[in-house]
Amino acid sequence: MQAKINQLKLNTLDKIEKAKYYCAFSFLFIRPLFKAKLFEYFDYDIKRAFELNSEDLKNISDYYDIAIPKNILKKIDELDIDKCYNEAFEDSEIKLLTYEDDIYPKYLKEIPDFPLSLFYKGNLDEIDFNYALAVVGSRNASMQAKIALDNIISGFMGTNITIISGLAYGIDTQAHLSALNNNLKTIAVIGSGLDIIYPSSNKKLFYDIVNNNGAILSEYPLKTKPLAQNFPQRNRIVTGLSKGTLVGEARLKSGAMISANLTLEYNRELMCIPGNITNPNTEGIYHLIKTGAAIATNSKDVLEQMNWEIKKQKKEDITSNLDDLQKKILESISLDPKTFDEIIDDIKEDISMVMASLTQLELLGIIKQSANKYYKCI
């Protein structure tokens, strides 16, 4: 019995020692690809990778034909692993996911510049990454794109699909909100430390994700600012976590296009939501469609492209119990969102009765209001 206790202590100490080296690597701000190749070269032994020497560097450079980061040995030598470990966990809610952990996502291991470890808040234990969908798109997304995305994600209600995105404005925010509104798990990958919420306007969303069996992931330690160069690196994790990516809107030169191209490089499924051809944010979308990306206009399109066979929990069709006025309102906004005045002009009914019906439809979750316009959400 005592031998088992001693072995348990040894395993625990070994895990903590390894965690210190993983944390130290997170403070080493060099290209993720070099970190991954370094780790791979030393047979995925994090301590050996940290203790490399100049001869190792030459061998690694020759073996992988890869450039050596400037002053890397000096940078490693200056790192205090105990200090790094303590600073990384100044927030007691932060957890560490390492390459060696059983729950490290298998698809993420397949990308060439996989992160050695990730810090996170929330819960990853119940996430099935076999059913994870990455969603990317424009920060300045149109209302049409947001509605289309919401309709697609709403179609996943009652499934174990997880929505992965980047917590940015626009499509990212809509993806997370739609997931939460439909009782789906969602993961946000951010380009800063977990103590810096960016954009700050998504603070509530950040904690809603954490508190609803989702997670916020970052490969950066605390106090890391959301620098511009962090976001392309963040994108590889968003797309790497899933075997498929859905693109909302995207300009030809944008972070969403970077993510789309990474998806193709990883040999994953790429799907695009078509939109208004006069919108500059759809230029990237139609370029991707012309070069082979699948078109997704509803949840069924996504399920077929991902080859997911999912049994959804049956839900009651609440629209069948609506009165004639409520149905008339739904028909009015079925194609395009409308303001209150536009709805009145269209259906020509009593203002007070329309207002009451709109309120009832919102309470039932059948319609939503955004930017002073009402639109159908189921």
DSSP letter string over 11-57? Answer: HHHHHHHHHHHHHHHHT--S-HHHHHHHHHHTTT-HHHHHT--HHHH
Other beta carbons within 10 angstroms of residue 242's beta carbon come to: 27
Could you read off the pLDDT of 161-220 as tens digits, one per residue? 999 999 999 999 999 999 999 999 999 999 999 999 999 999 999 999 999 999 999 999
Which burial class, exposed, middle or buried, applies to 186 when counting CB atoms under 10 A from its CB (0-12, 13-18, 19+)?
Answer: buried
Cis peptide bond N-terminal to 105, omega within 30: no
> Can you give the residue range of the structural domain that contains 247?
129-306
Same domain for 223 and 198: yes
With a pLDDT cut of 90, the percent of the chain lying above it is: 76
Could you read off the pLDDT of 68-109 as tens digits, one per residue? 999 999 999 999 999 999 999 999 999 999 999 999 999 999
Distance between start and end Cα atoms, the chain: 59
Q: Give Cα 121 distance to the centre of its chain.
A: 14
Residue 276 lies inside a defined structural domain of this protein: yes
Residue 323 lies inside a defined structural domain of this protein: yes
Query: Tokens standing for 295?
Result: 């078109």
Same domain for 293 and 152: yes
Going by C-alpha positions, the residue among 254, 260, 257, 288 that lies closest to residue 274 is: 288
Which burial class, exposed, middle or buried, applies to 291 when counting CB atoms under 10 A from its CB (0-12, 13-18, 19+)?
Answer: exposed
| pLDDT in the model for residue 329 | 87
Q: How confident is the model at residue 8 (pLDDT cuts 50, 70, 90)?
A: very low
Same domain for 170 and 59: no
Residue 53 lies inside a defined structural domain of this protein: yes
Could you read off the pLDDT of 123-140 as tens digits, one per residue? 999 999 999 999 999 999
Same domain for 228 and 139: yes
- Lowest-pLDDT range of 78-92, 196-210, 243-257, 345-359: 345-359
Tokens 């205090």 locate to 80
Q: Give buried/exposed letters for 37-48 (b at 16+ CB in 10 A, else e).
A: bbbebbeeebee
Last residue of a domain, one of 306, 330, 351: 306
Residue 335 lies inside a defined structural domain of this protein: yes
Question: Is a pLDDT exceeding 70 seen at residue 10?
Answer: no
Q: What angle do CA 207, 167, 252 make, to 5 degrees?
A: 175
Same domain for 349 and 295: no
> Residue range 349-375: average pLDDT?
79
H or E stretch covering 262: helix 255-265
Residue 330 lies inside a defined structural domain of this protein: yes
Residue 124 lies inside a defined structural domain of this protein: no
Last residue of a domain, one of 62, 88, 114: 88
Same domain for 332 and 298: no
d(CA 250, CA 281): 5
Same domain for 279 and 331: no
d(CA 133, CA 268): 11
Question: Is a pLDDT exceeding 50 seen at residue 311?
Answer: yes
- What is the domain count for the chain? 3
d(CA 184, CA 47): 38
| pLDDT in the model for residue 371 | 64
> Residue range 266-271: average pLDDT?
97
Same domain for 245 and 149: yes
Residue 370 lies inside a defined structural domain of this protein: yes
Same domain for 202 and 331: no
Same domain for 293 and 322: no
Residue 121 lies inside a defined structural domain of this protein: no
Same domain for 256 and 324: no
Give percent helix, percent strand, percent coil of the chain, each to the nearest 5: 50, 10, 40
Same domain for 192 and 52: no
pTM above 0.75?
yes
d(CA 119, CA 116): 11
